[in-house]
Amino acid sequence: MAEIGDSILQGINEAIEYVNGDTSKSIVHTIINKQIDVKKIRDKLGLSQAKFSQTFAISLSTLQKWEAKTRNPDGAAKAYLLLIAEHPNMVKDTLENVA
């Protein structure tokens, strides 16, 4: 039971530190609310759905659903797509080097 009490006290102390401006123990999550136009990214690169899917290791079915807007990319997928949009050669080279 003492462990639970210690854990609660630790949480309270960390909350007080946070309120006082010490964010060193905080975990920050970045949420990308931006809508990603996957088709626009793919078209800009001049790739077919099949080639984009193969090049960037994205399921063709998933890509098609994103482009049809029947599914939306999650946070990690949005970050990956933004990286592809800005640095396609770096992503491609990295994937080729780990294959």
pTM listed for this prediction: 0.68
Both tokens assigned to 65:
């659903």
- Is 82 within a domain? yes
Residue with tokens 């933004």: 82
Ordered per-residue pLDDT tens for the chain, 99 residues: 578 888 888 888 888 998 898 888 888 777 777 889 999 999 999 999 999 999 999 999 999 999 999 999 998 999 999 999 999 999 999 999 887
Question: 13 and 45 in one domain?
Answer: no
Q: What is the CATH number of the domain that holds 71?
A: 1.10.260.40
Question: 92 and 44 in one domain?
Answer: yes
Alpha-carbon distance of 57 to 31, in angstroms, equals 23
- Is 33 within a domain? no
Alpha-carbon distance of 59 to 52, in angstroms, equals 10
Instruction: Domain of residue 68: give its range.
Output: 38-98
- Is 32 within a domain? no
Q: What is the dihedral of CA 41, 44, 46, 49, to 10 degrees?
A: 20
Alpha-carbon distance of 94 to 92, in angstroms, equals 5
Domains in the chain, number: 2
Structure confidence at residue 29 (pLDDT): 77
Question: 83 and 58 in one domain?
Answer: yes
